[in-house]
Amino acid sequence: MSKETFDNQKKYSDTLPKKYMAAGALFFNKHHELLILHPTYKDRWEICGGIVETNESPRSACEREILEEIGLSRSVGRLLCVDYSVNTEHVENLQFIFDGGVLTENEIKQIRLAIDEISSFEFIGVESKEDNEKILQRDRLGPRLIKALEAKKHNKTFYLEKGK
């Protein structure tokens, strides 16, 4: 490729819209309770996952984040949902949620938190109406999470926009 062709492609590429992606996984214990993490840098809980880096697939990012955040080397299962939204900084993003499966009691004991990033973890119920109301208190993640749980239960995958 000539330098002129490369420069033209770079100029074109620079005009394309910029979006970011994040990927997370749903993990459960044997009681079908959902693993949530309490980040040190936020006042709200999250699921395991994070930002997709340059030249990284959402699945690879999710598996990397699992290892970084909770110290487990796990492959994720199928895609449960992808959600398009615009965040509070007016930046477009795509959020992927994968099925992480059920953690054994031994795996739960082996969880090692990234102490600079995650202060604690817990398992929460997801099956009752009250559980869903608690989940929906998380403004953007809540609706996405409810649909991901539905996708898991009914063996579906959902495309969402702002959680719908």
Which CATH code for domain 18-161? 3.90.79.10
C-alpha count within 13 angstroms, C-beta hemisphere, residue 90: 0
State how far the Cα of 124 lies from the Cα of 31, in Å rounded to an integer. Answer: 10
Q: What is the pLDDT of residues 22-79, one digit of tens each?
A: 999 999 999 999 999 999 999 999 999 999 999 999 999 999 999 999 999 999 999 9
What is the DSSP annotation of 60-81? HHHHHHHHHHH--------EEE
17 contact partners, CB below 8 Å, separation of at least 6: 92
Q: What is the pLDDT of residues 129-141, one digit of tens each?
A: 999 999 999 988 9
